[in-house]
């Protein structure tokens, strides 16, 4: 009964936020609209981080790698082959999934903080490759002058910031809807169960590495699709867009929002990214200092938010946090 | 005879990059061993480790003036400053010591971000020049090639440092505690050694090692805005490749990375960006389960 009320309240808030996002470009100026579009792309990467960190229990600092792969694939396709958004989106998601698939052997056997370490190394190495592979990526100068996207064959090209923002909003809303539906299926349940008690899930005959690989590739595809939205929003990309600080910011956002919930991750990632962009505007040169202090303060002030990030990081004997009690039941549900 | 001569000729051009690789590898080893201790003993993923190296590097740039005294001074100040930064970090970590790695990673990253920004504010955004002692500025002849004297001396000093590190970890009581803490932290706590003190001690030692590497290695990986990132990345790859608790594994991984970064670039310039990636993937693909098993047990 009560959970029904909460669910309805949540749905109401989500609808309000969505409505606000739809009318936003007519309320704010073009510059803010462009920033909002970029924030949407990053929030979608945040969803892929939440999927891995909170749902599958693989804390990651390297989702900028498939994000970058998707963005560069989209930029190359966009400037040389096709300006159709659907094509670019599929290519970008494919590139993200491909990179994630290549790195699967590196991450699925590791657990906890080792995953953080390996994914961080992968993300950094991808940025190095982007900076040096000049013939394809344009090196540290990046790729500029990418033509405006047309969403579908026969439709006009998106000529202004508002149109590009709305395109990004439609794509992000659709993909998040798909992720939410997917998480309700058995696959989502198995992932959560593996996070909570891997030994029991293995004992009941589930192949955990297979599920984790699937989640890793799916998260890579989502991050890749987000990369194509960044290209649409900026029409310019460089390795600087995919630095380690972006990964850390996304993880912080996801942790603030509560890693186990996709909605929370979205809000958290959007908040943190918006705070960063705003800080860089008002405090030129000193933003990293304030941002670093923000990280430290968040860790101290939001222990509950951080503690929700369970992903096999806590020692097994530590008490479970209260809100997660319902999710502890997932192992039993899967077995039934 | 002719064949032998031709053989040496083919190897000859790569001698200098190979020697550079040893210097680079030993530097990475000294820097990375701090991260290995930190992670293995105190169970902390210290994302501010690169910052500790950068502190040493900037100290070298600020104090070195071409004399031996300034080198000794820079080494002392750099080691102390980086060790103090390590202790500060341990203090910051105390309230969340029982928490998870995720919050520790975020906290140390925040410190790295803020500290890096302070270093840039203090020393300026341009990469500073480092002046080595005048006596070491020239070059010596190695097997018919001219080679920077400083690097040759660095190789010797770093090798001595590595050997000393090995002996300390293997033979002293502190080293035994460190190794015991990797295998069974609770048992070490039972011995009456406070985990908080172990954490502070390990972070101070890690800082001292990184600071020493930063001062001595400044002519090889110099101080600059992306130094901290580079050193952190190289150290992480060493930890991933070398496994935990094994000094020999760490040394081997560091030397391999040094050779990849110098000899690899000389041999295959076009493939250079991918070599580090490929090496990590290859090792993990072959040994993933073994390494992961070792790690999760620690």
- Is it the case that residue A131 has pLDDT exceeding 70? yes
Judged by a CB distance cut-off of 8 A, whether residue A281 touches chain B is no
pLDDT at residue A310 in the model: 42
Confidence of residue A53 (pLDDT cuts 50, 70, 90): confident
More confident residue, B232 or A204: B232
Confidence of residue B134 (pLDDT cuts 50, 70, 90): confident
How many residues does this entry show for chain A?
336
- Is it the case that residue A265 has pLDDT exceeding 60? yes
Residues A81-99 have pLDDT tens digits of 888 889 999 999 999 999 9
More confident residue, B215 or A318: B215
Q: Smallest Cα–Cα separation from B61: which of B189, B227, B172?
A: B227
Whether residue B294 contacts residue B243, with contact meaning beta carbons closer than 8 Å, is answered with yes
pLDDT at residue A56 in the model: 85
Q: Which tokens belong to B49?
A: 């480790």
pLDDT at residue A328 in the model: 44
Of B100, B281, B288, the CB nearest to A314: B100
Judged by a CB distance cut-off of 8 A, whether residue A232 touches chain B is no
Taking CA atoms, B220 is separated from A20, B79, B122, B125, B264, in Å, by: 53, 18, 22, 19, 17
Rounded to a whole number of angstroms, the distance from the CA of A55 to the nearest CA of chain B is 15
DSSP A157: P
Average pLDDT of chain A, as a whole number = 82
Contacts of A119 in chain B (CB under 8 A): none
- Distance CA(A195)–CA(A211), nearest Å, equals 11
Q: Which tokens belong to B58?
A: 């900037």
Contacts of A248 in chain B (CB under 8 A): 47, 106, 109, 113
Q: Tell me, what's the ipTM?
A: 0.78
Confidence of residue A306 (pLDDT cuts 50, 70, 90): very low
Average pLDDT over residues B164-179: 79
More confident residue, A15 or B110: B110
Beta bridge partners of B141: B146
Average pLDDT over residues A107-126: 83
- With DSSP H G I counted as helix, E B as strand and the rest as coil, what are the percentages for chain A, rounded to 5? 75, 0, 20
pLDDT at residue B54 in the model: 94
Q: Which tokens belong to B224?
A: 């600059």
Confidence of residue B85 (pLDDT cuts 50, 70, 90): very high
Q: Smallest Cα–Cα separation from B276: which of B291, B288, B264?
A: B264
Confidence of residue B108 (pLDDT cuts 50, 70, 90): very high
Task: Locate the domains of chain B by residue range.
Answer: 13-96+133-291
Chain B residue with CA closest to A314: the answer is B100
Rounded to a whole number of angstroms, the distance from the CA of A199 to the nearest CA of chain B is 14
Confidence of residue B188 (pLDDT cuts 50, 70, 90): confident
Confidence of residue A1 (pLDDT cuts 50, 70, 90): low
Judged by a CB distance cut-off of 8 A, whether residue A286 touches chain B is yes
Cβ of B107 within 8 Å of Cβ of A109? The answer is no
Average pLDDT over residues B25-42: 85
Across the A:B interface, residue pairs with CB atoms under 8 Å apart total 152
- Is it the case that residue A66 has pLDDT exceeding 90? yes
CA angle A268, A273, A275 (to 5 degrees): 95
Rounded to a whole number of angstroms, the distance from the CA of B7 to the nearest CA of chain A is 33
pLDDT at residue B245 in the model: 55
Confidence of residue B10 (pLDDT cuts 50, 70, 90): low
Cβ of A114 within 8 Å of Cβ of B296? The answer is yes
Residues A135-181 have pLDDT tens digits of 888 888 888 888 888 888 888 888 788 889 999 999 999 999 999 89
The neighbour count for residue B147, using CB atoms within 10 Å, is 17
**Chain A 47-76, CB below 8 Å of chain B: which residues?**
53, 59, 61
pLDDT at residue B149 in the model: 85
Average pLDDT over residues A254-269: 79
- Distance CA(A53)–CA(A186), nearest Å, equals 19
Specify the pTM.
0.83
Question: If you write DSSP's letter for every residue of chain B in order, what string do you get?
Answer: -HHHHHHHHHHGGGHHHHHHHHHHHHHHHHHHHHHHHHHHHS----TTHHHHHHHHHHHHHHH--SSHHHHHHHHHHHHHHHHHHHHHHHHHHGGGTTS-HHHHHHHHHHHHHHHHHHHHHHH-SSPPP----GGGSSEEEETTEEEEHHHHHHHHHHHHHHHHHHHHHHHSHHHHHHHHHHH-HHHHHHTT--HHHHHHHHHHHHHHHHHHHHHHTTTTS--STTHHHHHHHHHHHHHHHH-SS-HHHHHHHHHHHHHIIIIIHHH-GGGHHHHHHHHHHHHHHHHHHHHHHHHHH-
Q: Which residues contact A213 (CB under 8 A, 6 or more apart)?
A: A101, A104, A108
Chain B residue with CA closest to A125: the answer is B277
pLDDT at residue A245 in the model: 83
């Amino acid at each position: 009964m009560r959970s029904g009320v909460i669910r309805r309240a949540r749905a109401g808030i989500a609808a309000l936020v969505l409505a606000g996002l739809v009318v936003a470009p007519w309320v704010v100026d073009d510059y803010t609209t462009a920033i909002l579009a970029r924030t949407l792309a990053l929030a979608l990467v945040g969803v892929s981080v939440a999927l891995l960190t909170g749902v599958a229990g693989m804390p990651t600092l390297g989702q900028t790698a498939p994000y970058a792969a998707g963005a560069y694939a989209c930029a190359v396709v966009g400037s040389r082959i096709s300006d159709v958004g659907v094509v670019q989106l599929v290519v970008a998601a494919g590139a993200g999934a491909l990179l994630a698939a290549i790195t699967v052997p590196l991450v699925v056997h590791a657990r906890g903080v080792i995953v953080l370490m390996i994914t961080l190394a992968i993300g950094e190495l991808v940025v190095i490759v982007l900076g040096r592979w000049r013939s394809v990526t344009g090196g540290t100068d990046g790729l500029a002058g990418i033509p405006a996207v047309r969403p579908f064959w026969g439709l006009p090209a998106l000529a202004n910031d508002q149109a590009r923002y709305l395109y990004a909003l439609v794509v992000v809303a659709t993909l998040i809807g798909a992720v939410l539906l997917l998480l309700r299926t058995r696959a989502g349940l198995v992932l959560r169960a593996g996070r909570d008690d891997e030994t029991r899930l293995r004992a009941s005959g589930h192949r955990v590495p297979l599920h984790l690989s699937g989640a890793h590739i799916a998260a890579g595809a989502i991050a890749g699709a987000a990369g194509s939205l960044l290209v649409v929003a900026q029409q310019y990309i460089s390795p600087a867009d995919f630095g380690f600080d972006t990964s850390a910011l996304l993880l912080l956002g996801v942790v603030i929002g509560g890693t186990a919930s996709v909605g929370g991750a979205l809000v958290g990632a959007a908040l943190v990214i918006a705070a960063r962009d705003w800080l860089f505007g008002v405090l030129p040169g000193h933003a990293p200092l304030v941002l670093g202090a923000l990280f430290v303060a968040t860790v101290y002030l939001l222990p509950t938010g951080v503690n929700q990030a369970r992903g096999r990081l806590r020692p097994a004997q530590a008490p479970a946090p209260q809100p997660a009690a319902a999710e502890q039941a997932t192992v039993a549900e899967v077995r039934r | 005879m002719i064949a032998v001569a031709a053989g040496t000729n083919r190897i000859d051009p790569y001698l200098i990059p190979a020697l550079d690789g040893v210097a680079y590898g030993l530097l990475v080893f000294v820097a990375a061993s701090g991260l290995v201790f930190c992670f293995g003993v105190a169970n902390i993923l210290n994302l501010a480790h690169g910052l500790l190296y950068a502190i040493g590097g900037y100290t070298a740039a600020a104090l070195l003036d071409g004399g031996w005294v300034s080198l000794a001074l820079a080494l002392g100040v750099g080691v102390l400053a980086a060790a103090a930064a390590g202790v500060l970090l341990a203090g910051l970590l105390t309230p969340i010591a029982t928490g998870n790695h995720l919050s520790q990673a975020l906290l140390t990253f925040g410190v790295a971000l803020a500290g890096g920004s302070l270093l840039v504010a203090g020393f300026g955004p341009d990469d500073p020049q480092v002046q080595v002692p005048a006596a070491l500025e020239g070059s010596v002849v190695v097997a018919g090639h001219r080679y920077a004297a400083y690097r040759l001396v660095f190789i010797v000093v770093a090798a001595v440092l590595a050997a000393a590190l090995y002996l300390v970890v293997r033979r002293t009581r502190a080293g035994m505690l460190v190794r015991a803490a990797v295998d069974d932290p609770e048992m070490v706590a039972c011995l009456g050694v406070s985990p908080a003190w172990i954490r502070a001690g390990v972070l101070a030692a890690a800082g001292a090692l990184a600071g020493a590497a930063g001062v001595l290695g400044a002519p090889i990986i110099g101080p600059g805005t992306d130094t901290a990132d580079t050193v952190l990345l190289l150290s992480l790859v060493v930890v991933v490749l070398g496994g935990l608790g094994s000094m020999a594994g760490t040394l081997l991984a560091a030397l391999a990375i040094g050779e990849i970064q110098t000899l690899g670039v000389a041999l295959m310039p076009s493939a250079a960006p991918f070599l580090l990636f490929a090496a990590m993937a290859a090792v993990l693909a072959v040994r993933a389960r073994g390494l992961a098993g070792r790690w999760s047990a620690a």
